[in-house]
Amino acid sequence: MGRTDRARPRILFASANESAPWGPSETNWALAAGHWLGLGADIHASVKGWEEVPAELAALERAGCAVHRRWDPPPHDQRPVHELPWSERQSSILTKLRPDLVVVSQGDNYEGLGWMEECLERGFPYVAYSNSASEYEWCTDDVAERLSRAYAGALASFFVSEGNRELTERQVGGTIVNARVVRCHFKVDYAAAPPWPEVGDGRVRMACLARLDPNSKGHDVLFDVLALPKWRERPLTVSLYGAGAHERVLRALRDRLGLTNVEFAGYAEDIESVWRTHHGLLLCSRAEGLPTVIVEAMLCGRPVVVSDVAGNAELLEDGVTGFVAAGPVAACFDEALERAWQRRAEWPEIGRRAAEAVRREIPPDPIALLVEQFRELAGG
C-alpha cells in the first residue's frame, strides 16, 4: 500500500529507548505524536515493553495512537543498544505497517542506528531525532561509519541543540548535511512570571532539577563544590528535585560529606511552583541536549548556573543572563557559582534579562513547529 492509497498519512514513531519505561526523550516524541494525531494522521509507536505503563504512554493510547510493544527475552535483550531489537527482526513492524514516515527517536545520538539502517534497507523514509549527546561516549570506527551513512540517508536529522549537532558530526567523522536544530517542550506557561521569592530566614535557595543520575547530571561534582568550607558557611540551601536509580548512593554521598545544605525534594510535577520558592538553578551536567529545566527557569525569571556542556549555554550570555562554568568539574563550577554569589543582589535583574532573552530564542509551542517540519517531510 502506498501513500496515495490511503486518506491519512501513516506515521511510525520508533523509540530506541531501552533503558527505562520513560524519560525526557520519550516525552518529546510522545507530544509530537499526540499533536500529529490531533491533526488527523494515523499514528503508531514502537516501544520496548515494560511491566510498568507510563501515564504519558497510556494517555497517548487512549487518544488513538496504536502502540506496538517489543518483548525481547534474554539473552536477546542484551544486544548493543544501537542494534535493531531482536523482536523487530523476528516480526517487522515496518513491513506490517508500511509507514509513510518513520520518526526514529533517540535518547543518545547513536541509539537508533539499527532502526535507521532497517528503514534505509527496506526503503522507508525516515527522520532521526536525537535528544542528547555525550563527549565521553564515542562509537568505534565501524559503528561511526554506519551512523554517518544512516544520518545521510534520513530525510532530515534533528538535534535539540547546536552543541549536539556539532558533537555528533565530530563523532561520526563528517558533516551531517541534512541536520536541523529544533527546540524541546517545556512544562511552565510561556507567560509564567512567578514573583521573586521572599524567604523569611534570609537563606538563598537554589534548585537542581534533574533525574538522579550522576553519570549525566554531575550531582557528585555539585556535592564536591558544596562541601567546600566557604559554601558550608554561607546561607545557601540546594534542593534536589528529581527521581532515579541513583538516589540511595547520592543520599549516602551527601551524608558522607556532611552536607546539611542539600535536601532531596522528590519529583516536581509543578515546575512553576519550584520557582516561587527558589532563587536560581544549578546544573552541573556531563552530558545533555538542551535541558528544558534551563528554559523553564529562564522563562520564570530565575538566573541559572550551568556547566558548558552540549546546549546548556546556548541560550545564555555569561554574566548577563546566567553564569557558565567552563566544564563539569568542581574547580570550574565553584568559580561560576562564586561569581554568581558575589552578584546575588543583582539576581532579580539577571532573571528579568534571562526571561526576555529566552523568549527571543524559544517559541511558544516548539512541538507544533516540529510536527510542521515532520508533516512537510512526510508530504502532508
Per-residue pLDDT tens over the stretch 246-278: 999 999 999 999 999 999 999 999 999 999 999
What residues are paired with 305 via a beta bridge?
Answer: 282, 323
- 3-state DSSP helix/strand/coil percent for the chain, to nearest 5? 40, 20, 40
Mean pLDDT of 45-72: 95
For residue 319, the SS3 value is: coil
| Residue partners of 206: CB distance under 8 A and separation at least 6 | 236, 237, 238, 239, 278, 279, 280, 281, 282, 305
CATH match of 204-361 with 3.40.50.300: no
First to last CA, the chain: 17
Options 3.40.50.1220, 3.30.70.580, 3.40.50.720, 3.40.50.2000; CATH for 3-183+364-378 is 3.40.50.2000
Answer whether 283's CB lies under 8 Å from 304's CB: yes
Distance CA 100, CA 254 (A): 51
- Return the percentage of the chain with pLDDT > 90, whole number: 90
Per-residue pLDDT tens over the stretch 270-313: 999 999 999 999 999 998 999 999 999 999 999 999 999 988 99
CA 100 to chain centroid, in Å, comes to 26
pLDDT, position 148: 98
Per-residue pLDDT tens over the stretch 157-200: 999 999 999 999 999 999 999 999 999 999 999 999 999 998 77
Angle at the Cα of 118 (from 115 to 119), degrees rounded to 5? 90
pLDDT, position 199: 78
Q: Do domains 3-183+364-378 and 204-361 have the same CATH topology?
A: yes
Given pLDDT bands bounded at 50, 70 and 90, which one contains residue 25? confident
pLDDT, position 200: 75
Given pLDDT bands bounded at 50, 70 and 90, which one contains residue 5? low
- pTM listed for this prediction: 0.92
Cell of 342: 558575589
Q: Is the pLDDT of residue 76 over 90?
A: no
Q: Is the pLDDT of residue 38 over 50?
A: yes
**What rounded mean pLDDT belongs to the chain?**
95
For the chain, domain boundaries: 3-183+364-378, 204-361
